Structure 1
Amino acid sequence: MKLLRGFLWLLGFQLLGHAVVELLALPVSHAMAGLLLLLAWLLVKRRLNESVATASQALIPLLAMLIMPGVVGVFFVIDEFAGHWTAVMVALGVGTFLSVLTSLWLMLRFMPKEADGGDERERLS
């Protein structure tokens, strides 16, 4: 039941994002607006809803499948990239580097600090 409730929360925020984008004529995708609204809600509550966490964990293994339609769509517009392969490759390289750097920074920032092992080393020597 917790999984279903979490999916309903996620779907509700996606629908809310859709409504906000349509009403305000924002140049943002509906799903992204829903995710931003979910982020704002989580920041205001200052705790993670257990149902949303359960549903999110169930979606993580499917992430590659969720990204696949966009990747496949590139094949239909491949002719438009004909003279721009250098720019595409530079953008992919820089984007990947910045993504990895950001992930590393977030990991170092938010992971719990390990206790200094100095005392243990002194006892062993």
Structure 2
Amino acid sequence: MKLLRGFLWLLGFQLLGHVVVELLSLPVSHAMAGLLLLLAWLLVKRRLNESVATASQALIPLLAMLIMPGVVGVFFVIDEFAGHWMAIMVALGVGTFLSVLTTLWLMRRFMPEEAANADARRREP
């Protein structure tokens, strides 16, 4: 039941993001607005909802599949990219580097100290 409740929370925030983007005519995707609203809600509450955590953990293995529709959608507008390949490659390279760097920084910032020490001990010969 926690999993279903968590999915409903996530869906609710996505729908709320859709409403906010449409009402304010923001140049942001509906899902991103929903995630930002969820982040704001979690920061205000100062604790993670157990249902949302359960649903989020279930979605992590499917992350690549959730990204796939956006990647496939690029092929429908491929003609619009003609002549801009260098800019696209630089943007992809810099964006990938920055996202990996940000993920590493967040992981190190929020990982419990005991887990970080245990991980370091496993890597030592």
Instruction: Establish whether TM, by shorter chain, passes 0.5.
Output: yes
Aligned structure 1 segments of 4 or more residues deviating by more than 4 angstroms: none
* Cα distance, 1:79 vs structure 2: 1.9
- Which amino acid in 2 is paired with 1:111? M
Change (3 A) 1:25 1:87: closer
1:108 aligns with 2:108: yes
Q: Which residue of 2 aligns with 1:92?
A: 92
1:12-31 alignment, distance < 5 Å: 12-31=12-31
* Cα distance, 1:27 vs structure 2: 2.2
- Which amino acid in 2 is paired with 1:88? I
Q: Which residue of 2 aligns with 1:121?
A: none
User: Kindly, what percent of the aligned residue pairs are identical?
Assistant: 93
* Cα distance, 1:4 vs structure 2: 0.6
Question: Whole-Å Cα distance in 2 between the matches of residues 113 and 34 of structure 1?
Answer: 31
* TM-score (structure 2 length as normaliser): 0.84
Q: Which residue of 1 aligns with 2:75?
A: 75
Please tell me whether Structure 1 or Structure 2 has the larger radius of gyration of its CA atoms: 1
Extract unaligned runs of 5+ from structure 1. Answer: 117-125
SS of 2:48 mapped into structure 1: coil
Q: Which residue of 1 aligns with 2:5?
A: 5
* Cα distance, 1:25 vs structure 2: 2.3
* Cα distance, 1:22 vs structure 2: 2.1
Change (3 A) 1:19 1:73: same
* Cα distance, 1:82 vs structure 2: 2.3
SS of 2:72 mapped into structure 1: helix
Q: Which residue of 2 aligns with 1:37?
A: 37
After superposition, the CA RMSD in angstroms is 1.9
* Cα distance, 1:54 vs structure 2: 0.5
Q: Which residue of 1 aligns with 2:123?
A: none
Question: Whole-Å Cα distance in 2 between the matches of residues 84 and 22 of structure 1?
Answer: 30
Deviates more, 1:27-36 or 1:48-57: 27-36
- State the aligned residue count: 117
* Cα distance, 1:31 vs structure 2: 1.3
Question: Whole-Å Cα distance in 2 between the matches of residues 6 and 13 of structure 1?
Answer: 11
Question: Whole-Å Cα distance in 1 between the matches of residues 15 and 43 of structure 2?
Answer: 19
Q: Deviations over 1:59-113 (max 9, x none)?
A: 1111111111111111112222221221111111111111111112112222122
* Cα distance, 1:47 vs structure 2: 0.6
